[in-house]
A and B are shown apart, each in its own frame.
Chain A
Amino acid sequence: MPKGLRIDETLASRRSFHFSFEGREIPAYEGESVATALLAAGITKLRCSPGDGGPRGLFCAMGVCQECVVSVAGQAVEACRLLAAPGLDVKVQP
């Protein structure tokens, strides 16, 4: 297992839980965005562009570009602004 991407020295003291992305269980720590937890799990492709069909993922990381949108309960939300929460059911945008 290569070294993880998380760099918080106090990680062990933070609450951890799981949420679901396309049916896969993703570990996350309190305070992380969905995009962060997915990046840590090695998932960077979050959708295909409706314009050109190419793969897209986290880009601006601050809610501007709309490239990282995912779907929660049928609603489009930016993965970079969406706080990961236990049991959250995240899907790729249809």
Chain B
Amino acid sequence: MSAPDAFDLAVIGGGPAGASAAIEAGRAGLRVVLLDEGRSAGGQVYRAPVSGTGASSGQPDGAVGDRLRADLAASTVDCRFDHRIWLVERGFRVHGLGPDGPATVEAPRLVIAVGAQERHRPVPGWTLPGVIGLAGATNLIKSQKILPGRRVVVAGSGPLLLLVAASILKAGGELAAVIDANGRMDWLRHAPQLMARPDLVGRGAKWLAAILRAGVPLLSRHALRRIVGDDHVEGVVAGPVTGDWDPSASGEFQIACDAVCFGYGLAPATETTRLLGVKHEYVPDMGGWRAVTLPDGSTSVAGLYVCGDGAGVLGAAAAALQGRVTGLAAARDSGHANAADAVERLLPQAARAGRFGMAMTGLALPRDGLLSAMTPETIICRCEGLRRADIDSAIAAGSQTLNGLKSATRCGMGPCGGRVCEDTAAALIAQHTGLSREAIGQSTSRPPLRPVPLGQLAGAFNYLDLPMPEPAPQ
């Protein structure tokens, strides 16, 4: 194997945080490499559309994504797209699988900006084809330019709910209903923090107005009870929720549809920082478990920085500012003293954007009443096909941590790496045992961070070239 490419700084993730960090660090004089599994920069939020530009495709902030891609292209940053990162070692060595095979880069400093993943709360039928995540739906509509179905129900909580609903209407699709677990009072309770970004509040109000103008039923304080269908979604059954979001307490009704977009906010993707042994903390208003960072992105591991939604879900505006701060901090710490002033200048702006994001994240956070929609037969771990009854009996038998539950049942051991089920599994343990999320913990992160074909990682080699030690003397 050839020697890995060496840089001053490696950045994992080309969303607003990672791309901004790479651009700033490059401008300050560092040799920077950026790796991302997408085919271009932008991340999930500014994903490049299949045709035209972000702006011409009518994406909210589409022009911001276009500018990010243009700035990155004009920078000195060495961009490696379509690279799936499967192992990161301290020191730092980043191992990926790219279009031309395995690739390793080395740098004394590393920025992790891997973003967030969707949080789910299962209901019976959520595994049916036709049910997709809210974040996935934004991807389909704004990047792939396809509707998730002919007649769609949008359900869950948080700002993505309104974004997906408004995007479907704007594209000329049919929306059967919008089902929001929050009520008007819940939104109002967050108003003071939201006013940190009146421009973004205005956009949300516009989405809401579009939904109401179209005459689509907007069911506040409601949630899905189950999704029905045989080989595909045929409808949903929903009901009003209690203050704890229990949807099974009173009457229910059915809505016909052929697609459901469904989710309860976002959670930081922490598998890479867990693998590197960074200190984490559980902060519900930042989406749950997050790597502990200082405002400049630095962590408990020397030379390692985390920024963007991966360090706490605060949204794209905050991510871009945090990314710039972090890129400059990495340059400062590499001996480029002139970057220090810029870090201080940007910090207040990043904090303001962060307050808005935190209000949105807190609003999306699922409440425990949703757990009562999960019948004993409801699948919790989609990869392993584990039902709630399997999880419940393992907890009753003594599984009190995510690692314990994993050993007992294989929950979280499938190809998704636990990223779809673990938050729900932890919520179930907490409900049964009364333990805190800190006590329940996170599961141990292990490589490969993403499923990769072993044959491709090994590449082409001659078996006879392998160094074989002499056998021990008899």
Instruction: List residues of chain A with CB under 8 Å of any chain B CB.
Output: 2-3, 5-8, 10-11, 13-14, 29-33, 36, 39-40, 44-46, 49-67, 69, 75-76, 80-81, 83
Contact = CB atoms under 8 A, between A and B. Distances in A.
Contacts of A76: 451, 453
B198 interface: no
Contacts, number: 135
A12 to B, nearest CB: 11
A63 B419 contact: no
Interface residues of B, number: 49
Closest 5 CB pairs of A and B: A51-B385, A61-B136, A52-B385, A57-B129, A31-B50
A53 B387 CA distance: 13
B416 A33 contact: no
Contact of B146 (A3, A36, A53): A36
Nearest to B56: A10
Nearest to A49: B385
Contacts of A53: 385
Contacts of B379: 51-52, 54
Given A52-B385, A55-B129, A59-B131, A36 B232 contact: no
Contacts of B383: 49, 51, 66
Most buried by B among A33, A39, A50: A39
B127 A54 contact: yes
A1 to B, nearest CB: 12
A36 B140 contact: yes
B118 A32 contact: no
Given A61-B133, A65-B382, A56 B127 contact: yes
B150 A67 contact: no
Nearest to A55: B231
A63 B386 CA distance: 21
A60 B147 contact: no
Contacts of B140: 36, 39, 61
Contacts of A44: 129-130, 232
Given A5-B146, A30-B50, A44-B129, 5 more contacts: A8-B145, A60-B132, A64-B118, A64-B420, A65-B382
Contacts of B450: 63
30 contacts: A5-B148, A5-B149, A6-B146, A7-B171, A29-B50, A32-B50, A32-B146, A33-B144, A36-B140, A36-B146, A45-B231, A49-B382, A51-B383, A51-B384, A51-B386, A54-B385, A56-B382, A57-B130, A59-B133, A61-B133, A61-B135, A61-B139, A62-B136, A62-B139, A64-B420, A65-B420, A66-B415, A67-B127, A67-B416, A69-B415
